[in-house]
Structure 1
Amino acid sequence: MSRGPVPAPFERAIRAAIAGGIDYLLSQQDGDGFWREFDLAPGPSEAWTTAWVGWCLTGAAERGPAARVRVQAALARACRAVMSAKGDAGWGYNRRTGADADSTAWALRFCAAQGMALDGAGLLAPYIDAGGGVHTFVEPGWGRWTDAHDDVAANAGLALLAMPKAGATLQRIVRRVIERCPGHTFWWSTQAYCIAWGLRLVSACPAQAPGGLPPGFRRALDALAGPASCFDVAHRLLAALALHDAGAANSWCAVLLDQWQAPAWPGSPVLLVPDRTTATPLDPQAEMKALLTTSICVRALSEFLRLPDHIASSAT
């Protein structure tokens, strides 16, 4: 895929927004290396959001050598912080909560991007069933939180891509993602999240999809209502990149630039904390600092600038 020629003013605007977003994210890192976000009952998130922001910054388009030095120093602090929060079963929302598959997968993706060799397959194995479903929690008593969740499966698969000895387990997850295409979100109010990461996983594993990307992903993406947040738009851009849809990618880039409000993109109320026993409608949880939104916007725009490189080359 090639994004085609990009007008110089458009590219300059993208690079300026990325640079501003990076500066904002670096300014929000706490002294102990964590990026903390959300105000939920267990407190703010630590390892999960730090790994998310760190992974996004690992693939960000920095402005030059000085900026790279600043980013790398921040990422080194973040990596030490994430490792300090690891328990025997992996990582959780923060150090006061038990481990879960999604936090563990994000931590593994970030640590792998930082060159660390961890037994990711072993850590994720307890959460993955024989059919490739990935259960967010495995402890008894967590109700619906222990179900297999499509919006966690692709993330776990992407973590396993960077791990040795993950072949058979990864294949089960990819097959399930394809079978359940486009999947359903449980932890997020935007279906674009599930579509984007599912597409990214399947496109990085062509042997599991010999007929190409399942058309259900594109149909689901086309059926989405108008974008509700910057977080949603960034995931639509990631989906367009995975689909090699240059026209859509250019359009979503333009939307993200319109949404940019220096020094960051506005926070997105998209995180859900579902009831453990009933499917009660929920109000999404708002970000406190717009860290997840700003970092995923930075990453998505950076990947757009890296085209025409194949999207699978940076899948993990």
Structure 2
Amino acid sequence: MTVQTLAPILRFVLDAREWPCPDRLAKLALQLPAVATAGLEIALGAEDAIDLQQRVKSADEMACLTRWLARTTPAGIGWQRLTAAFASIAGDIDELWLELDAPPADGSGEAPLSVFVQLSDPGASAIARVLAAFGMPLDPSREEALARCLAACGPGARLSYLGLMLGRTGAPLRLIIEGVAPQDARGLLERSGWPGPIASASDWIDRLFVHADRIRLALTLAETLTPDIGLECFVGEPAANDPRWRCLFDLLVQHGLCTAARRDQMLGWPAMLTPLSAQSWPEALIADALLRSEPDARWLDCRISHAKVTLAPGVPPRTKGYLGFIEVGNPSAADPAPPPHVGAAGVTAAIDAATGFLLSARNQAGWWLDYDGFSEGPADEWVTAYVALALHDCGGSDARAAATRAWHLLTARARSGWGWNFLQPADADSTIWGLRLAAALGQSATTAASDAIRFLRQHLHADGGIATYRRDLYAHWSDGKAVNPGWYDSHACVTAAAAHVPDLGPELRAHLRDVQLVDGTWRGYWWQQPYYTTGLAAEALAATGRADDADRVARAAAATRVTLEQDGGIAALGERPFDAAWALRTLLLQPMGQSDAIEQLADLLRSAQHADGSWTASAALAIPNRQGDIVPAIDNRRRFTTATVLTALARYERLKPADQ
């Protein structure tokens, strides 16, 4: 019986993506079993040989590798060690990667094998068992260096993969450390005894985190730790083609670490290959489908994995890109159920739980992301500024530190202002929330904030309102992309937010007075419901101390109570905590005793809180597209809604009588 290899699957994918398959790469694929998850390692700065990787994870894949090793063990010390060790380490590992370095171009020598294992419990004892199984026990000095690296990991950091470079001289170990807080990267390197240039590495980590959601540190342990380090940068979720990858690759191109051609190759790789969309589906995949006890649709998801910047003393940084494909099942399966509603014992407990959720909801870099599902990518700059301000106003030292980190990231991204994300033109609304965060942090005099104020003033219309976008600025950034002309008009929701920015003139509040509706509310351009815009506008006018503005605020509060009744009563907002929170903020502008609805809304929000501290996603946008249709959007990650409720409950707690 012919033993299936990775080679025909790899060639099929490369042909489908119109990528070349060099002979050396095809020969590497002949040394690996027909497991349809593989990766390519490509030099980004120059043409070079391509290394090949393969992931083995599921029970079926582990069984396939077992059969492969029993039947066709390739030559080489690495393969011999893997064959001897595999059965005994299976209980310690969750995932295994095989990596074959491209052999010399003249065909001499063997392809060196490296094995990367993800341990179920990455502790010293499990590591020792794996190394013993491979015949690689550590001498005392290497054991001490390994122990120092493990001990150097701070809260949240861990050994993600243990790499055994079996085919390289001295069989060094590669330690992949995940979850290192940006502010602790320097400390970890110092505690581990890493002998490389720590200041330079820290600077690169900070620079890359501006556009990378996650960075893993790759340290090499030979006789001792070597002075080189790899910074493995990830963007987005593994199962999603995140357009924000372009920002990271553009950064590498700007620093001369990636050619424009390689960037475009990497960005052009993602695709979904299905039996219906591609011809000559690989024989091995057809056989697997027939043998599965529960047949289901499977296809090949071509993804970008990560980009790696390697730093070493005395030489320029080197970069590699990692991309590949994985066999996946039906991606339209239902999302996991949200956490149950448990409610908090009191307002303080609800605030603490919400703060904890938001702190844990940041990515490693410190960004908050929300509103997935757009071709433009998720929102990060706008959402981060909004959430960071909520935490700064409501949280303790950890929350304020997170807000400070957010401002640091926004400053590094500043392009006069901020936007939905860095791929999109800066807009007035996102810039407003960045400026409000700057004011809360005492950073209004910084260059980034001063530039943002000037940018924001360019969006002021003659009627005293603020437009989200200015036509010429948007056209310049987006290469003339056509959008709904209404994007360039004055927007009450944006103007209401801007009225809270220090140093802006009184014309914004004058505009708000002019556009308050007869029923007492304000209607936003971007929002499905009036609660957000009404709350922001009422708060801006309440701060003036003018009697006529107090009347307008009273009308807004009365209108909010009427709107609540028309919406089916307060109880009907149980699944719309975003609107309930803004209604609460509007009513809190009146004396507490004037409305039973205040207590009812506070009780509703506490009871609607999920077990993880969040609230149901309900910050519902209504985005007019260029055709005039309304595109709905929701904060599916629940960051925006939770930040809103957090702020509302914190204001309620500050204003309620002490005996409540």
Matched with 1:183 is 522
Return the offset for 1:277. 4.6
Say which SS state the counterpart of residue 458 (structure 2) adopts: helix
The answer to whether the aligner puts 1:172 opposite 2:507 as a matched pair is yes
Matched with 2:66 is none
Match of 2:401 among 68, 73, 81: 73
The change in CA–CA distance for 1:281 and 1:242 in structure 2 (over 3 A counts) is same
The change in CA–CA distance for 1:211 and 1:22 in structure 2 (over 3 A counts) is closer
Return the offset for 1:70. 1.8
Return the offset for 1:245. 4.2
The answer to whether the aligner puts 1:21 opposite 2:374 as a matched pair is no
Post-superposition CA distance 1:128-166 (Å, at most 9, x none): 11221111111255311111111111101112xx23xx3
Return the offset for 1:34. 0.9
The answer to whether the aligner puts 1:260 opposite 2:594 as a matched pair is no
Return the offset for 1:115. 1.1
Looking at structure 1, the residues matched to 646 and 624 of structure 2 have their Cα atoms a distance apart, in angstroms, of 28
The answer to whether the aligner puts 1:287 opposite 2:617 as a matched pair is no
Looking at structure 2, the residues matched to 49 and 255 of structure 1 have their Cα atoms a distance apart, in angstroms, of 25
The answer to whether the aligner puts 1:123 opposite 2:471 as a matched pair is no
Looking at structure 2, the residues matched to 129 and 110 of structure 1 have their Cα atoms a distance apart, in angstroms, of 24
Return the offset for 1:75. 1.6
The residue identity in structure 2 corresponding to 1:18 is I
The residue identity in structure 2 corresponding to 1:94 is N
Return the offset for 1:299. 0.9
Looking at structure 1, the residues matched to 640 and 499 of structure 2 have their Cα atoms a distance apart, in angstroms, of 20
The answer to whether the aligner puts 1:222 opposite 2:561 as a matched pair is yes
The residue identity in structure 2 corresponding to 1:176 is H
Match of 2:433 among 94, 97, 106: 106
The residue identity in structure 2 corresponding to 1:172 is E
Looking at structure 2, the residues matched to 208 and 139 of structure 1 have their Cα atoms a distance apart, in angstroms, of 37
The change in CA–CA distance for 1:192 and 1:210 in structure 2 (over 3 A counts) is closer
Post-superposition CA distance 1:53-87 (Å, at most 9, x none): 01111111x4xxxxx23222212211111112211
Post-superposition CA distance 1:276-311 (Å, at most 9, x none): 352x344x31222100111111111011111169xx
Looking at structure 2, the residues matched to 31 and 91 of structure 1 have their Cα atoms a distance apart, in angstroms, of 20
Match of 1:51 among 385, 388, 391: 385
Equivalent runs, 1:79-98 vs 2, <5 Å: 79-88=407-416, 90-98=417-425
Contact 1:267–1:290 (8 Å) recurs in 2 = yes
Larger % of strand: which? Answer: 2
Matched with 2:366 is 33
Contact 1:234–1:297 (8 Å) recurs in 2 = yes
Looking at structure 1, the residues matched to 581 and 425 of structure 2 have their Cα atoms a distance apart, in angstroms, of 29
Flag the structure with larger Rg: 2
Say which SS state the counterpart of residue 467 (structure 2) adopts: coil
Equivalent runs, 1:203-214 vs 2, <5 Å: 203-207=542-546, 209=548, 212-214=551-553
Return the offset for 1:31. 1.7
Matched with 1:314 is none
Say which SS state the counterpart of residue 371 (structure 2) adopts: strand
The answer to whether the aligner puts 1:234 opposite 2:599 as a matched pair is no
Identical residues among aligned pairs (%): 26
Return the offset for 1:29. 0.8
Say which SS state the counterpart of residue 78 (structure 1) adopts: helix
Contact 2:344–2:607 (8 Å) recurs in 1 = no
Return the offset for 1:258. 1.7
Match of 2:470 among 135, 138, 160: 138
Return the offset for 1:269. 5.2
The residue identity in structure 2 corresponding to 1:108 is L
Match of 1:42 among 376, 399, 423: 376
Matched with 1:275 is 625
Return the offset for 1:251. 1.7
- Bigger mean CA offset, 213-222 vs 233-242: 213-222
What TM-score do the two structures reach when normalised by structure 2? Answer: 0.41
Return the offset for 1:214. 4.7
- Bigger mean CA offset, 217-226 vs 30-39: 217-226
Looking at structure 1, the residues matched to 367 and 529 of structure 2 have their Cα atoms a distance apart, in angstroms, of 26
Looking at structure 2, the residues matched to 261 and 131 of structure 1 have their Cα atoms a distance apart, in angstroms, of 43
The change in CA–CA distance for 1:297 and 1:78 in structure 2 (over 3 A counts) is same
Post-superposition CA distance 1:217-275 (Å, at most 9, x none): 13431331243601000101111112334433222101101211111111115122212
Name structure 1 gaps, 5 residues minimum: 1-9, 63-67, 310-316
The residue identity in structure 2 corresponding to 1:298 is L
The residue identity in structure 2 corresponding to 1:194 is T
The residue identity in structure 2 corresponding to 1:100 is D
Contact 1:206–1:212 (8 Å) recurs in 2 = no
Contact 1:136–1:149 (8 Å) recurs in 2 = yes
The residue identity in structure 2 corresponding to 1:255 is L
Say which SS state the counterpart of residue 45 (structure 1) adopts: coil
Say which SS state the counterpart of residue 273 (structure 1) adopts: strand
Contact 1:144–1:275 (8 Å) recurs in 2 = no
Contact 1:196–1:236 (8 Å) recurs in 2 = yes
Contact 2:623–2:630 (8 Å) recurs in 1 = no
Contact 1:178–1:214 (8 Å) recurs in 2 = no
Matched with 2:500 is 158
Matched with 2:261 is none
Contact 1:33–1:78 (8 Å) recurs in 2 = yes
Looking at structure 1, the residues matched to 615 and 553 of structure 2 have their Cα atoms a distance apart, in angstroms, of 32
Contact 2:542–2:550 (8 Å) recurs in 1 = no
Return the offset for 1:211. 5.8
The residue identity in structure 2 corresponding to 1:261 is H
Say which SS state the counterpart of residue 158 (structure 1) adopts: coil
The answer to whether the aligner puts 1:192 opposite 2:541 as a matched pair is no
RMSD over aligned CA atoms reads: 2.2
Matched with 1:306 is 654
Contact 1:151–1:186 (8 Å) recurs in 2 = yes
The residue identity in structure 2 corresponding to 1:242 is L
Q: Determine which structure has greater relative contact order: mean sequence separation of CA pairs < 8 Å that are 6+ residues apart, divided by chain length.
A: 1
Larger % of helix: which? Answer: 1
